[in-house]
Amino acid sequence: MFEPVATQPNLIPSEHDVLKFWQQNGTFDTLREKNKNGPVWSFLDGPITANNPMGVHHAWGRTYKDCFQRYHAMMGHRQRYQNGFDCQGLWVEVEVEKELGFNTKKDIEQYGVGEFVEKCKERVRKYSAIQTQQSIRLGYWMDWGNSYYTMSDENNYTIWAFLKKCHDRGLVYKGADVMPWCPRCGTGISQHEMHEAYREITDPSVVLKMPLRRGTNEFLLVWTTTPWTLAANVACAVHPKLLYSKVEQKGETYYLGRNCVSQLQGEFKFVEDLPGSELVGLEYDGPFDELPAEAEARNRHVVIGWKQVSEDEGTGIVHIAPGCGKEDFDLSHEHDLPAPAPLNESGVYIEGYGVLTGKFAGDVTDAVLHSLKEKGLFYTAGPYVHSYPHCWRCRTPLLFRYVHEWYIDMSWREEIKEVARQVRWIPEWGLERELEWLDNMRDWMISKKRYWGLALPIFECECGWFDVIGSKEELRERAAAGWEEFEGHSPHRPHVDAVRIKCEKCGREVSRVSDVGNPWLDAGIVTYSTVKYNTDREYWSKWIPADLVTECFPGQFRNWFYAMLAMSTMMENIPPFKTLLGHALVRDENGQPMHKSAGNAIWFEDAAEKMGVDVMRWVFCRHNPVNNLNFGYKAGKEGERKVFNTLWNVFAFLANYARLDGFDPTEEQVPAAERQDIDRWLLSDLQLLIKRAHAEFGNYQVHGFVEQAENFIDGLSNWYVRRSRRRFWRTKDKADRDKLAAYQTLYTSLITFCKLIAPVCPFVTERIYQNLGRGAAPEAPESIHLCEYPRPDDSLIDQTLSKHMDSVTEVASAALRLRSARQVRVRQPLSEIIVASADSEVRAGVQRFKAQLLDELNVKSMTIKETLDDVLSYSVRPDMSRLGPRLGKDASKVAAALSEMDPAEVASGVKQPGGLTVLAGGEEHRLGADDVAVERVWPEHLAGAEEAAFSIALNTELTQNLITEGMARDVVRHVQQLRKDAELEMNDRIRLRFDTNDERLASAVTTWAGYIKEETLAVALDRGSVDQPQRVATVEGAEIRLSLRRAGS
């Protein structure tokens, strides 16, 4: 019935076997069929970017997703199992550009937008297929034929519906702003995408002179790290309340922040300090006033006050170029200043900038400095290290550009906040984080001047009119031209661009704006688009809000979580999900961020085939998700040893013995009341573990359960099995109810344990189940994952028993420690142990498991008492350094008197409230606990230890009998090793032969021959010359030569 089990689990090859097994049997389909009428549990998958193979960090989130789905499946819940792929957006474009060797948008235009978009789709298909295969390898059970793609028509049109709703409320607008711009990608970078954009770089820092127009030789010293923006200077800003110094140097007068005078080169003469407010309003000459483009600004150069100015860096006087900086731009509104915009979308100067025209902004530092020097405006320059934003996809340093983009006015953020509050955030501070973002975010920039993405359904007329189309049907109805060209294509560029509608104001035919959409629109709509919102509203309302969403949280508060919340608020004003479980980042073994470039990134496939996915999943589930996870093979190895080897060994032990014994798990159960205490202890612990599992899975805190599971398997192996082994070894006997109870207890515990952890490690548990569960009962479900999740049986829980067992293990480990300290090996039997405790529960526990303890500790007898006082003696030594100064010459008399007294009385006396009264030299002296040093003295023959809850004393006196028995046990041990070396079966009988020159040893063997034979399954034990010993061992200093052969052979 049970298959024999190898001693090594061989995890990785077996995982492939299990995958095959599931596939061949259609196990996942069976599961869905089984649960099809069950109560709904709704998980909603966050789309993975289908742009690269998976790294181990993807596996973390996916392990959670699978794990919770598997738990709920075993609870009988109906689920959707839909995986998602994120398809559209700049990240795909950038990779395709790399593949094709493109550098600019021009390359794409020349190649053809249609072809380029096809390439993007192709890349998505390729990597979604790879990720699918990898996920299957992880054991991630999903409806893989039915994954959603954010590039689908359904998804795109549902976003149109969302935008239409926004437009109906008047929230869509075209705005003008200065924003971060990637000159390589030729697109603005929205606030959402500025996450992790800042990187340290070295830029030129320049201090230049701006001549004041009011007098001669007076200059503002102005600082900038972006020399290219100087050609668009409009104003200078000072902090009105900061102090500025007026200084003279080489016949010129300079103004700069008082705390910035260290910027001055060489000697200078201090003239006076004045507040910034006195500089405000002064007019000056700009550094590039000769340029035609500065014509308007030329007449407006003025010093303005701005409280953001700091004197921590630079000169305390800031150059303002409203067309080149966000804050500058805002200031220009405040002060009604012009905003010349010098760059085109590639970051190149437009006409009107003299020698700069046609040059890339990042390349003009030398030209700018040269020009300043020529004009006598240069003061100093040097390298400056600061953190500067970069394009999050191509790493190009961003520029700031004045542009027109489409926005959603987010003035309705309070509505979103209200929805966010209805979600349960794990960890709880996720809500605060989200609310903070919602408070601080600006309007949502939804346009991008790119090619591969959502086609914004905005049609804009020259006359200023625009409208938003809400569906494919609406587009068809309103199409004035180009519908035929578009029909049959997905709503992507370039085909959708062919459609024109009529301007409702001036009647002209107008096209769609050429922009594509922000990719977070794509992912944010999935709670609608993928759940049949448009086609089956009843179905949709059954599954949304989803019960669970789980993702890695850094970044997602402003991206996916935000987009889902905002879009769901607009669509139906409901939370899109009920619980959000966030987890931190995967780091390398040393806590460093994993980077492809640093070479410390681990690809999923490598990890899967090197550590195995069960182990990987265990590592993920064991970790507290709020902390970053340091992932590496070392941690995997540890988990493997600690958990999987232990589990496997218990399994192998049970299966192999059960096979020999013909144990039948379907036999009638021995009632719990008739089983041994240790059995009932294990079953009680098992119920507690089941309870814990339900609590933690239900609460999405799987790591708490996994930690407890580790403790359980440890107790199962290293206490229950170790303590119960002999019950399994007894000869086959149908009437042996105790043996049956042991089998049943171990069998139930192991198989229940496997079911409990099956969602975490679905492979190894499946193998164990196939042997133990299915092998024993062919009518059982064909997979462990088709079983019901175990339910706790409260009647089996016995808290007192647990407490008793705790006392027992503590006493055992204290006694073993004593043996170790005294160098008395455990195989050497000892005559007596005394356990003393004032706690009656401890005494009860020790009494209850007396036999177990004696066996475990190899001691003949045990005495249990309340205190060890009667076996201990005390030694008392007066502390003369205290008594001397206090008692003077009486001190020595007190000491003498003390030595006459009973040390035990002294010991207890000094602890009394009044102290101990000692009569010496005719006077009474009171001694307190500090006056004497009391030591407990253990009698020579006792080794003692005092613990918090109990004391123990071990009699280490050895009689000849004990020594002889110890020798016999040593011999047994050597024979067992010999059996193992000879690769005998566990139930093979042997004929044993030994030889020794030591008569003590020889007589020990003879005296204990019965015992030795019984322990080693020897049918014969003879002394005789052993010419070719299979083992030569030393016992108590004497040599013994051993040989054996299988009986009957």
Give the H or E element holding residue 638.
helix 633-639
558 binds RNA (CB under 7 A): yes
Residue 923, class by beta-carbon neighbours within 10 Å (0-12 exposed, 13-18 middle, 19+ buried)? exposed
Give the H or E element holding residue 874.
strand 873-878
In the bound state with RNA, the residue whose beta carbon lies nearer, of 213 and 725, is: 725
Pick one of 275, 555, 792, 1029: the residue that binds RNA (CB under 7 A).
555
437 binds RNA (CB under 7 A): yes
Pick one of 987, 997, 1003, 1006: the residue that binds RNA (CB under 7 A).
987
HSE at residue 720, side-chain half, CA atoms within 13 A, is 33
Rounded Cα distance, 302 and 318, in Å: 12
385 binds RNA (CB under 7 A): no
Considering only CA atoms, which of 708, 687, 713, 693 is closest in space to residue 796? 687
Give the H or E element holding residue 219.
strand 218-224
Hey, which residues between 182 and 211 contact RNA (CB under 7 A)? 191, 194-196
Conformational region of residue 507, where left means phi above 0, alpha means psi within -120 to 50, and beta covers everything else: left
Pick one of 24, 597, 823, 881: the residue that binds RNA (CB under 7 A).
823
Q: How far is the CB of 643 from RNA (least distance, A)?
A: 10
721 binds RNA (CB under 7 A): yes
Which residue has 């483009």 as its token pair? 293
In the bound state with RNA, the residue whose beta carbon lies nearer, of 355 and 982, is: 982
In the bound state with RNA, the residue whose beta carbon lies nearer, of 601 and 984, is: 984
Rounded Cα distance, 471 and 483, in Å: 14
Select from 26-34, 182-190, 505-513, 711-719 the region that touches RNA (CB under 7 A).
711-719
Rounded Cα distance, 823 and 445, in Å: 76
Is the bond into 427 cis (omega within 30 degrees of 0)? yes
Pairing type for strands 148-149 and 1018-1023 reads unpaired
In the bound state with RNA, the residue whose beta carbon lies nearer, of 223 and 648, is: 648
Site map (CB under 7 A) of RNA, residues 997-1026, x = contact: -----------------xxxx---------
Pick one of 600, 717, 892, 908: the residue that binds RNA (CB under 7 A).
717
Q: How far is the CB of 565 from RNA (least distance, A)?
A: 15
Hey, which residues between 632 and 661 contact RNA (CB under 7 A)? 634, 638, 641-642, 645-646, 649-650, 652-653, 656
Pick one of 695, 986, 1019, 1032: the residue that binds RNA (CB under 7 A).
986
> From residue 89, how far is each of 4, 187, 385, 407, 676 by CA, in Å?
54, 12, 32, 17, 65
In the bound state with RNA, the residue whose beta carbon lies nearer, of 710 and 832, is: 710
- The dihedrals phi and psi of 569, each to the nearest 5 degrees, come to -65, -45
CB 63, CB 622: distance < 8 Å: no
In the bound state with RNA, the residue whose beta carbon lies nearer, of 20 and 641, is: 641
Cβ burial 346-371 (10 Å sphere, 16+ → b, else e): ebbbeeebbebbeeebeebbebbbeb
Helix, strand, or coil (residue 46): coil
Hey, which residues between 789 and 818 contact RNA (CB under 7 A)? 813, 816-817
973 binds RNA (CB under 7 A): yes
Rounded Cα distance, 138 and 19, in Å: 10
In the bound state with RNA, the residue whose beta carbon lies nearer, of 113 and 643, is: 643
Considering only CA atoms, which of 128, 146, 142 is closest in space to residue 53? 128
Q: How far is the CB of 817 from RNA (least distance, A)?
A: 4
In the bound state with RNA, the residue whose beta carbon lies nearer, of 83 and 724, is: 724
Rounded Cα distance, 172 and 90, in Å: 22
Select from 92-100, 443-451, 461-469, 713-721 the region that touches RNA (CB under 7 A).
713-721
Hey, which residues between 896 and 955 contact RNA (CB under 7 A)? 946-949
Q: Total residues contacting RNA (rule CB under 7 A)? A: 73
Pick one of 385, 574, 821, 851: the residue that binds RNA (CB under 7 A).
821
Q: Where are the alpha helices (DSSP H) in 44-112?
A: 56-74, 90-100, 105-111
In the bound state with RNA, the residue whose beta carbon lies nearer, of 8 and 103, is: 8
Hey, which residues between 268 and 297 contact RNA (CB under 7 A)? none
List residues bridging with 467 in a β-sheet.
459
Residue 1021, class by beta-carbon neighbours within 10 Å (0-12 exposed, 13-18 middle, 19+ buried)? buried
Q: How far is the CB of 680 from RNA (least distance, A)?
A: 19
Residues in the chain: 1049
365 binds RNA (CB under 7 A): no
Helix, strand, or coil (residue 945): strand
Pick one of 666, 863, 977, 1003: the residue that binds RNA (CB under 7 A).
977
440 binds RNA (CB under 7 A): yes
N-terminal to C-terminal alpha carbon distance within the chain: 28
CB 203, CB 294: distance < 8 Å: no
Considering only CA atoms, which of 374, 377, 362, 273 is closest in space to residue 316? 273
In the bound state with RNA, the residue whose beta carbon lies nearer, of 596 and 926, is: 596
Residue 799, class by beta-carbon neighbours within 10 Å (0-12 exposed, 13-18 middle, 19+ buried)? exposed
143 binds RNA (CB under 7 A): no
718 binds RNA (CB under 7 A): yes
In the bound state with RNA, the residue whose beta carbon lies nearer, of 76 and 555, is: 555
Which residue has 């049609």 as its token pair? 459
**Residue 751: partners with Cβ closer than 8 Å, 6 or more residues away:** 768, 769, 772, 773
Q: How far is the CB of 844 from RNA (least distance, A)?
A: 17
**Residue 685: partners with Cβ closer than 8 Å, 6 or more residues away:** 712, 715, 802
Rounded Cα distance, 279 and 241, in Å: 11
Hey, which residues between 563 and 602 contact RNA (CB under 7 A)? 591
Select from 152-160, 460-468, 534-542, 624-632 the region that touches RNA (CB under 7 A).
624-632
Rounded Cα distance, 1019 and 350, in Å: 103
979 binds RNA (CB under 7 A): yes
Considering only CA atoms, which of 593, 579, 458 is closest in space to residue 515? 458
630 binds RNA (CB under 7 A): yes
In the bound state with RNA, the residue whose beta carbon lies nearer, of 825 and 926, is: 825
867 binds RNA (CB under 7 A): no
969 binds RNA (CB under 7 A): yes
CB 1019, CB 1009: distance < 8 Å: no
Q: How far is the CB of 192 from RNA (least distance, A)?
A: 8
In the bound state with RNA, the residue whose beta carbon lies nearer, of 196 and 667, is: 196
In the bound state with RNA, the residue whose beta carbon lies nearer, of 313 and 947, is: 947
827 binds RNA (CB under 7 A): yes
> From residue 572, how far is each of 46, 152, 418, 461, 879 by CA, in Å?
20, 22, 13, 31, 83
Hey, which residues between 725 and 784 contact RNA (CB under 7 A)? 725, 729
Q: How far is the CB of 94 from RNA (least distance, A)?
A: 20
List residues bridging with 916 in a β-sheet.
927
Hey, which residues between 65 and 94 contact RNA (CB under 7 A)? none
In the bound state with RNA, the residue whose beta carbon lies nearer, of 8 and 217, is: 8
820 binds RNA (CB under 7 A): yes
Q: How far is the CB of 346 from RNA (least distance, A)?
A: 27
Site map (CB under 7 A) of RNA, residues 655-694, x = contact: -x--------------------------------------
971 binds RNA (CB under 7 A): no
List residues bridging with 655 in a β-sheet.
none
Select from 70-78, 438-446, 765-773, 906-914 the region that touches RNA (CB under 7 A).
438-446
Site map (CB under 7 A) of RNA, residues 403-432, x = contact: ------------------------x-x--x
Q: How far is the CB of 573 from RNA (least distance, A)?
A: 25
